[in-house]
Amino acid sequence: MTINIVTVGKLKEKYWRDACDEYIKRLAAFGKASITELSEVRLKDEPSAAEIKAALAKESEEMRKFAKIKNAANIALCIEGDMLSSVQLSDKLKQFAVNGKSTVNFFVGSSFGIDEDFKKECDLRLSMSRMTFPHQLARVMLAEQVYRAFSIGANSKYHK
């Protein structure tokens, strides 16, 4: 299984990068795992709705390069998505594998989210919470939960 976490924007602080790197390293036990940082479209302060929409459409063009990978399951992280438990996420990942998906892409948008048309193309909309988290923390939380989901699937002792 190939696991791609595709994000808009870069982690600047070393401690966030270190935390993500640790979970990516652990995920190597289950397949090839990576985090790809895409460039964020820069917007002026207080952009208009049209400017935001155009920026999200541009960012989604880069996301589509991953979404078009053959046999990929695509998961958009968004606040309106389904909230799954760790066990449910594990089950969903197993289901993707049983259905012939050899790659799972997790997409994390910019602070303005992900383009609506792109989200419609994804196999799942996933929400980590109804609460709002800084993107840096959300990325670490996602990496940990993906690792936890694969650990559950492997019946490891990580998930108690």
Q: Answer yes or no: is 42 within a domain.
A: yes
Give 146's Cβ-side CA count (13 Å radius).
Answer: 34
Q: Answer yes or no: is 158 within a domain.
A: no
Q: How far apart are the first and last CA of the chain?
A: 24
pLDDT tens for residues 98-140?
999 999 999 999 989 999 999 999 999 999 998 988 889 999 9
Q: How many domains does the chain have?
A: 1
CATH number, domain containing residue 121: 3.40.1280.10
Six token digits for residue 85? 């438990």
Q: Strand pairing partners for 90? A: none
Q: Is the pTM of this model over 0.85?
A: yes
pLDDT tens for residues 4-20?
999 999 999 999 999 99
Q: Answer yes or no: is 74 within a domain.
A: yes
Q: Which amino acid is at 65?
A: K
For tokens 């002026």, the residue is 44
60 membership: H or E segment, kind and range: helix 49-67
State the Cα–Cα distance between residues 95 and 100, nearest whole angstrom: 9
Per-residue model confidence (pLDDT) at position 160: 66
The residue segments making up the domain with residue 142 are: 2-153
